[in-house]
């Protein structure tokens, strides 16, 4: 591991322990060249994943990109950070355990949608609007109708009967 202060590759591990959720290993390191001390977090990776985009382009799976897209959907929503981290770790584990090294981007999006649906309805709709490429208000309306079992239509009918 390269020292963030001087760039030396001769860093030494002084302490290792699992994080609270056991999803990563926390390592305290020291650089013998400059004396700098720093912490790294290492995640266990079952396999290298490649995402196949809709265009056919292949890109390495990026856990941080997944986390950022979920964070955007959950912006200003009352969801605890540990629940978000569990969602992200769960999606990554499911992708890694599928047995394939190449995963279609649709599969990643579907897993995020499933996770957000159980976590927060607003974040679920936000993510769906990007994932399903909503272009106008009626796209939202149709999506919300499908979520609520056409409850929106029933409300409109009740208002007209009054």
Instruction: For residue 102, list its beta bridge partners.
Output: 50
Is residue 124 a contact partner of residue 70, using CB atoms and an 8 Å limit? no
Residue 154 structure tokens:
């029933």
Tell me, letter by letter, the H, E, C secondary structure of 48-87. Answer: CCEEECCCCCEEECCHHHHHHHHHHHCCCCCCCHHHHHHH
Q: Which residue has the tokens 């029933």?
A: 154
User: Tokens 């993510």 label which residue?
Assistant: 127
Per-residue pLDDT, 91: 93
Tell me which H or E stretch contains 102. Answer: strand 102-104
pLDDT at residue 30, as a whole number: 96
CA gap 91, 68 in Å, rounded: 14
Whole-prediction pTM value? 0.62
Ranges of residues in the chain whose predicted pLDDT is under 70? 21-23, 44-47, 132-134, 140, 148-162
Q: Tell me, what's the pLDDT at 68? A: 93
Can you name the residues that pair with 24 across neighbouring β-strands? 43
Least Cα distance to 21 among 113, 90, 94, 115 occurs for: 90
The number of residues in the chain equals 162
pLDDT at 47: 66
- Quick one: pLDDT at residue 38? 94
């Amino acid at each position: 591991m390269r020292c963030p202060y001087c760039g030396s590759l001769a860093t030494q591990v002084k302490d290792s322990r699992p994080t609270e959720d056991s999803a990563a290993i926390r390592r305290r390191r020291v650089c013998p060249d400059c004396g700098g001390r720093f912490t790294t977090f290492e995640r266990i990776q079952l396999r290298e994943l490649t995402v196949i985009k809709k265009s056919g382009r292949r890109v390495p799976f990026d856990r941080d990109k997944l986390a950022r897209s979920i964070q955007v959907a959950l912006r200003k929503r009352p969801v605890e950070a540990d629940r978000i981290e569990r969602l992200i770790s769960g999606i990554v584990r499911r992708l890694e355990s599928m047995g394939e090294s190449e995963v279609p981007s649709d599969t990643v999006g579907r897993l995020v949608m499933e996770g957000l649906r159980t976590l927060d309805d607003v974040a679920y709709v936000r993510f769906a609007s990007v994932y399903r490429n909503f272009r106008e208000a009626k796209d939202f309306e149709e999506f919300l109708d499908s979520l609520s079992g056409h409850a929106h239509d029933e409300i409109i009918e009740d208002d007209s009967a009054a």
